[in-house]
């Protein structure tokens, strides 16, 4: 297969080529069942928190989850509705309705397919680690805030506000409507999840906790809201596929939301694939992953679901359960479909407070507490990027938080890199012993040699330009050794051209030594080459040329 064809080769094809036997199928079925048990309550809880019906969460997990595994670039990736999308899904649904949400999901899928075809998957790795940690922590806080109403069984007079501060104010105003039964159920679910995780770590703690809460609420006839009382239950299967309603006005209206879905989906799915790689020792293919996620989002929209992405917790569960191939993820979707057919009548009795307890536990686990502590201690720059991303995500917008964190991180990186650029003297007078290691020493005091080290780019151009101007004043021949310069960009080349032009006006000859072919080309493009300067292939050759020029004078 040609390298250019890699975006068309999902992992499922490579599994087929390797051969697939009964033992691997059995392991995959066990892993798929394990993940489905985890995904069942979680898919409904995320959908409810997103302001849509629990049925849409299950449609997303079944249709989208099946296609993610079938077309993913990661062998163990599990797709479905994700907590990170709760705020975006809720906002999109509130602005454009369910039809707009489904259309935005389909558009985001097309964007992801295009991104994979254009081989943009590798660019996600440039997002700084503090941004992903701050973003995840911010999402966790938003999820927790969105569950307070059902955690405490509160009754609001109007629609629950979307913003965190406005939401907290509204919930505080409804504090006198606390439902003790709802609080008891939600706390019981949280405690049960924690105990099961400690005492029986391999048990499906989420499902067991929700089942116990449902039995308690039904058996004791507790006055709490349930899936049935608010949504009328869940269907027993998938709806027939349908194309989302289209119009130019609707397309233009949901386009920004679709772009946010695509950006967040790409980040979340590729991070999940990296986690799977670390657990299995395999290597995912990022461009195939984006195409697979795009296909899954289009498929999810066709079946009435919303945005789907690779999910870290369910993918990790899949690996730990012994999955061998993408068949495990496909089986998880089919098991979910079977659960819908068998358990639809029972699901109507699930208390919303129980699902709120599940999401509260998920939100707590989403926060990478050791990573947050390490980043806050490591440097002021990392702490600033982490804090800015977290605060903007919580109090402004998810996409703005990612972009702001990336921008701040980039500026700090540019500042650090600009300080790594040095001009080291190789002349006797200004040099120190530490600067003279393997330096070439000219005998003539009118010939000075300086070595440029580091990446000479726009961030260091202004400061280095002033230094080079001062140096060129001190001699008749100035040799600039760039053999140890990692990179020179157009801004730096323009600075060299300006320095050389000023030097020539003062009668100083500038010799540039050791330029790589790329540096040679960019210096010539910016007119910093001959006849303004003299190029020499090495410092030794530059000294010979300088001696010849000195004699000619």
CA distance 367 to 161: 24
**The predicted structure's pLDDT at residue 361:** 87
pLDDT given at position 16? 56
Cα four-point dihedral sign 250, 253, 257, 258: positive
How many secondary structure helices (H) and strands (E) does the chain include?
Answer: 22, 8
Residue 2: what pLDDT?
40
Please, are residues 69 and 78 in contact by the beta-carbon 8 Å criterion? yes
Burial class (CB in 10 A: 0-12, 13-18, 19+), 99: middle
pLDDT score for 19: 64
- Residue 240 phi/psi, 5-degree rounding, is -70, 140
187-215: per-residue pLDDT in tens?
999 999 999 989 988 788 888 898 999 99
Q: Domain ranges for the chain, please list them.
A: 23-409, 422-552
Residues in the chain: 553
Which ranges of 200-247 does DSSP label H, i.e. alpha helix?
205-219, 227-231
Task: Report pLDDT for 17.
Answer: 55
Tokens of 91: 């906002």
HSE (side-chain half, CA atoms, 13 Å) at 298 = 13
Bridge partners, 146 (sequence order): none
Residues 50, 305 contacting (CB under 8 angstroms): no
pLDDT at residue 5, rounded to an integer: 43
Q: How far apart are CA 415 and CA 409, in angstroms?
A: 10
Nearest-angstrom CA–CA distance, 544 and 447:
11
Query: Residue 17 and residue 1: Cα distance in Å, rounded?
Result: 13
Question: Do the Cβ atoms of 170 and 161 come closer than 8 Å?
Answer: yes
DSSP sequence for 379-398: -HHHHHHHHHHHHHHHHT-H
Render 383-443 in DSSP notation, one character per residue.
Answer: HHHHHHHHHHHHHT-HHHHHHHHHHHHHHHHHHHHHTT-EEEE-STTT--GGGGTTPPPPS
Say how far apart CA 446 and CA 419 lie, in whole Å: 29
Tens-level pLDDT at each residue, the chain (553 residues): 344 445 555 555 566 556 667 888 888 898 888 888 888 888 988 898 888 999 999 999 999 999 999 888 888 899 999 887 888 898 899 899 999 999 999 999 999 999 998 888 777 767 788 988 888 888 888 888 888 988 998 888 777 777 788 888 888 888 899 999 999 999 999 999 999 989 988 788 888 898 999 999 999 999 998 888 888 878 888 999 998 878 888 999 999 999 989 988 888 888 788 778 877 878 888 888 899 999 999 999 999 999 999 887 788 888 888 888 889 999 999 999 999 988 888 888 989 899 889 888 888 887 889 989 999 998 899 999 999 999 998 888 777 888 899 899 888 888 888 777 777 766 444 334 333 334 445 566 778 888 888 888 887 777 777 777 777 666 788 888 888 888 888 998 998 898 888 888 888 889 999 899 999 999 999 998 888 998 999 888 888 888 888 777 6
DSSP lists the bridge partners of residue 478 as 448, 510
Supply the pLDDT for residue 436: 35
Alpha helix (H) residue ranges in 118-247: 129-151, 164-173, 180-199, 205-219, 227-231
- Coil, helix or strand for 534? strand
What pLDDT is recorded for position 477? Answer: 87
Superfamily of domain 422-552 in the CATH hierarchy: STAS domain (3.30.750.24)
- What's phi and psi for 44, nearest 5 deg? -70, -40
Q: What is the pLDDT of residues 285-331, one digit of tens each?
A: 888 889 999 999 999 999 999 999 988 778 888 888 888 888 999 99
d(CA 460, CA 311) in angstroms, rounded, equals 41
Between CA 376 and CA 330 the distance in angstroms is: 40
- Report pLDDT for 318: 85
């Amino acid at each position: 297969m040609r390298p250019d064809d890699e975006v068309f080769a999902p992992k499922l094809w490579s599994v087929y080529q390797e051969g697939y036997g009964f033992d691997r199928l059995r392991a995959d079925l066990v892993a798929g069942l394990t993940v489905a048990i985890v995904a069942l309550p979680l898919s409904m809880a995320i959908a409810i928190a997103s302001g849509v019906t629990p049925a849409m969460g299950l449609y997303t997990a079944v249709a989208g989850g099946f296609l993610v595994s079938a077309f993913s670039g990661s062998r163990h990736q599990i797709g479905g509705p994700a907590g990170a999308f709760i705020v975006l899904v809720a906002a999109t649904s509130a602005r454009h309705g369910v039809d707009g949400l489904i259309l935005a999901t389909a558009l985001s899928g097309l964007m992801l397919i295009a991104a994979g075809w254009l081989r943009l998957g590798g660019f996600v790795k440039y997002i700084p680690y503090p941004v992903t940690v701050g973003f995840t922590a911010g999402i966790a806080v938003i999820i927790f805030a969105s569950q307070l109403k059902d955690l405490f069984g509160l009754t609001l007079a109007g629609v629950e506000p979307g913003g965190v501060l406005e939401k907290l104010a509204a919930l505080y105003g409804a504090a006198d409507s606390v439902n003790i039964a709802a609080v008891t159920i939600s706390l019981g679910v949280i405690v049960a999840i924690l105990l099961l995780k400690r005492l029986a770590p391999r048990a499906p703690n989420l499902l067991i906790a929700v089942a116990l809460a449902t039995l308690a609420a039904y058996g004791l006839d507790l006055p709490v809201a349930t899936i049935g009382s608010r949504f009328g239950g869940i269907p027993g299967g998938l709806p027939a596929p349908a194309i989302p309603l289209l119009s130019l006005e609707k397309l233009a209206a949901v386009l920004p939301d679709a772009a946010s879905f695509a950006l967040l989906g790409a980040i979340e799915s590729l991070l999940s694939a990296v986690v799977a790689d670390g657990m299995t020792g395999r290597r995912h293919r990022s461009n195939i992953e984006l195409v697979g996620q795009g296909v899954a989002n289009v498929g999810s929209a066709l079946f009435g679901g919303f945005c789907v992405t690779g999910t870290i917790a369910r993918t990790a569960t899949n690996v730990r359960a012994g999955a061998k191939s993408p068949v495990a993820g496909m089986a998880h979707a089919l098991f979910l479909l079977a659960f819908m057919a068998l358990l639809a009548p029972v699901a109507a009795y699930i208390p919303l407070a129980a699902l709120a307890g599940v999401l509260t536990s998920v939100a707590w686990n989403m926060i990478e507490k050791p990573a947050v502590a390490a980043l806050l201690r490591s440097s002021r720059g990392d702490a600033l990027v982490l804090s800015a991303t977290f605060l903007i995500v919580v109090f402004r917008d998810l996409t703005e938080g990612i972009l702001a964190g990336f921008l701040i991180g980039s500026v700090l990186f540019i500042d650090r890199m600009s300080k790594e650029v040095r001009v080291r003297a190789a002349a006797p007078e200004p040099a120190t012993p530490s600067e003279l290691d393997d330096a070439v020493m000219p005998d003539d005091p009118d010939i000075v040699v300086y070595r440029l080290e580091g990446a000479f780019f726009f961030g260091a151009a202004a400061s280095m330009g002033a230094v080079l101007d001062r140096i060129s004043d001190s001699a008749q021949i100035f040799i600039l050794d760039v053999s140890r310069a990692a990179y020179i960009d157009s801004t730096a080349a323009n600075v060299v051209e300006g320095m050389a032009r000023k030097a020539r006006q003062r009668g100083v000859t500038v010799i540039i030594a050791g330029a790589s072919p790329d540096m040679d080309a960019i210096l010539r493009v910016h007119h910093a080459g001959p006849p303004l300067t003299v190029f020499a292939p090495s410092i030794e050759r530059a000294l010979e040329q300088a001696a010849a020029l000195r004699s000619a004078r």
